[in-house]
Chains A and B, each alone.
Chain A
Amino acid sequence: MMRITPFLLVLMCGSLSAQEVPSIELKDLGDLTVDTRAFVDAAEGPVLFCFWATWCSPCKRELNNYADLYPDWQDETGVELVAVSIDDPRSMMRVKPYVNSVSWDYTVLLDPNKAFARAMQVNNVPHTFLVDAEGKVVWQHNNYADGDEEELYEELLKLAE
């Protein structure tokens, strides 16, 4: 019982806010420091955080598929996509050459020791979060299969309304 008590008490307090983007400092591919929370606050529209890695095939499939749709999504909903790489020191330096070679037009952040992934409760990649202008997570999806972008697009349109 002792073990469950803190969980129950916390839940009883009620009126907890929805999951929000925490403030974690990460480097982008230009070696600039980006605060994840400040990024969301500065964005004019919704933000899509996609956790990925160079060794994760479904992640790259997801982000390559989104790349074709991204200009339309931006025009229609003002969304900004942030691809958060959890590549560790073994493959961290491969991220920028790969990203440039496939011409992604996203902000790419490096999270080599998974500080942001941990704070966002990411168990495994790909994991995608749609965040509204207030920084609240309004939709998330773990895994990627071709066609998942259709559900995401509907969610984006709902936010844009």
Chain B
Amino acid sequence: MTRHSLHLSAAIAVLFPFILVAQDESPDVGQITGNVQMLFQTYQEDSLIGAQVPPSKTGFNAFGNLIYTRGGFSAGMRYESYLDPILGYPGRFRGSGIGYRYLNYNKEHFEVTVGNFYEQFGSGLVLRAYEERQLGIDNALDGFRLVLRPTAGVTVKGLVGKQRFDFDSRLINSPGIIRAFDGEVNLNDAIESWATAGTRITLGASFVSRFQTGSTISKDTLILELPQNVGSWGYRAQVQKGGFQLMGEYVRKINDPNADNGYTYRDGEGILVNAGWSTKGLGINVGFKGVDNMQFRSDRNLQLFDLPVNYIPAITKQHTYNLAATLYPYATVVQGEVGWSAEVFYTIPRKSKLGGKYGTKISFQYATASSLDTTNLSGVDGLVDGYRRNSWKAGEDLYIRDINFDISRKFSKGFKAKYAFFHFDFNTLATPVTTDYKGIVNANVHVVETQVRIKKGHSLRTELQALFTGTDMKEVNGEMTPVKQDKGDWATVLAEYSISPHWFFSVLDQYNFGNPNPDQRVHYLYGTVGRIEGAHRLSVGYGKRREGIFCIGGVCRAVPASNGFEITFTSSF
């Protein structure tokens, strides 16, 4: 489709319903909503922090969404610009154009979508088309989707489409075709006599298939055929009773030699189990995850962020404090890993001796992931299957151990404080977040956060953070000397002053005071001023930002160091 015909089709899509109502005597023309997001960045060279200047000297990413709705009908589109893309975004995104458009019709028993759509089956282990705009991830499907709701409690979905891969003034889709089906039944809604039962049960099953043309690959003396059709399927169950919840999902995949698994043919398998119990003031959650060769893409030759069909969540939680979140963030090792986590939330009741006037909130979490327990195969078996998994027990290599704790308390109407502690044993070979250290980094992070109400509408929030890495004994000038791991110790100070409901001012300084290399003991100072008007927000920032890892939902992207201005505007209507 040419660019012009694409725009034309969008115009028709938006106008079509108006043409229909033109003859209506009392036109209900429906509603239009939208949002805009713009990010403009300037770059200055800074050799000390490694900040580069692209040829265009500035970067600009912008998105404008529009949705028209009338009754059960809706149509939407997103106009995107990458002129040129902000550094850290996929550099191949170029130009301006429509990157997402759809028509949707929703009736009581069915729903049809034509064009782009997002979708998730169960917890996403076999299929998740989603968008994390800040990471530049968008694997929306483009095709047709039909959702049927034949009776109460039963939902059947079927879809066929290609996934969004690239953007060059228009949407560029994957080579592979995805065909997927999902069925879910809630027994309490489906079976009349179960309607009032205290236990609620939902069961589901999915099947996903990819077609991609392929010929053969050669390995040593073997010539192997690349399967053109790859299948993946899963079963899931969810049980709820009062404060108790249990969720389990089991998935498999066959026929998928790909770049992630070294073009081997062994089956993929995955298990996700989560159990929780909670009551007023107390919540407990435990989880187990085992995945083995379960990464599934709509192009067998791609890796990293490109064209995932499914989503394998990380076992650790997403941290929010700067030093805890960005230096050693964990992302799932897609080739395979096994891990578990346990977490407790507790509120010491208000007006008790320990809880104070307003109560005190505490949380603790332990999460770990390791390599799989496998045996490498040799000969032809090795070439074809690679390895054999012996069990779902943890293998030899630790990938991550994340222990964290926090306690927060409101002391008075105008003062709140929080202390948080994090310990990471982080394998930089499994999740390559740094090039300065290969092995397990041990890091402790301490954070003290306070919030003070200065006067009506004015508040000051501060964060004091420190990260200390472990030390290794290394030979320096013939003597064994303790040397800090990776980039050594860091401190962060953040002060944020808000005048509700319109203004905020913040200053952030990250200081790498413990870098083993004294020349790298740099301050990264960054200031922001922002104005908010309801759903419209403008902010201007200036300063240095360190090279780091930016993550959302266990997916991370490396962001290069930068020095310059950043202007952002977001608005919805």
Contacts and interface: CB of A to CB of B under 8 A. Distances in A.
Interface string B38-66: 00000000000000000000000000011
Interface stretch (A14-22, A42-50, A77-85): A14-22
Interface string A99-140: 111110000000011110011111110010000000000011
A2 B8 contact: yes
B128 A89 contact: yes
Interface stretch (B309-317, B397-405, B482-490, B542-550): B309-317
A30 B243 CA distance: 9
Contacts of B311: 88-89
B313 A90 contact: yes
Contacts of A10: 14-15, 18, 32, 68
Nearest to B504: A145
A145 B32 contact: no
Contact of A103 (B7, B274, B281, B553): B281
A55 B404 CA distance: 14
Given A121-B65, A123-B37, A102 B451 contact: no
B225 interface: no
A101 B282 contact: yes
A16 B17 CA distance: 13
Contacts of A90: 313-314, 317-318, 553-554
A74 interface: no
Contacts of A57: 320
A75 interface: no
B130 A101 contact: no
Interface stretch (B227-235, B369-377, B422-430, B452-460): B452-460
Contact of A121 (B11, B504, B572): B572
A93 B535 contact: no
Contact of B15 (A6, A33, A97): A6
B118 A113 contact: yes
Interface in B521-538: 530, 532, 534-537
Interface in A49-101: 54-57, 61, 68, 88-94, 96-101
Contact of B278 (A101, A127, A148): A101
Interface string B258-285: 0000000000000000101111111111
Contacts of B148: none
Given A100-B279, A147-B453, A31 B343 contact: no
Contacts of B457: 147, 150
Contacts of B106: 23
Interface in B440-466: 451, 453, 456-459, 461
A51 B18 CA distance: 32
A102 B65 CA distance: 35
Given A3-B7, A100-B280, A147-B501, A127 B535 contact: yes
A133 B277 CA distance: 35
Report which residue of B11, B343, B535 has the largest number of chain A beta carbons within 10 angstroms of its beta carbon. Answer: B535
A2 B7 contact: yes
A151 B500 contact: yes
B91 interface: no
Interface of B: 4, 7-8, 10-11, 14-15, 18, 27-35, 37, 65-69, 74, 79, 106, 118-120, 123-125, 128, 130-131, 186, 189, 200, 202, 238, 240, 243, 245, 247, 274, 276-285, 287, 311, 313-314, 317-320, 343, 345-347, 358, 361, 363, 451, 453, 456-459, 461, 498-501, 504, 530, 532, 534-537, 553-554, 570, 572-573
13 contacts: A2-B8, A9-B14, A10-B15, A17-B31, A30-B240, A91-B317, A93-B247, A99-B278, A101-B346, A121-B573, A140-B534, A145-B498, A146-B498
Task: Please list the 6 inter-chain residue pairs (A to B) with the smallest Cβ-Cβ separation, ordered nearest first.
Answer: A97-B283, A147-B500, A145-B498, A101-B345, A90-B313, A100-B278
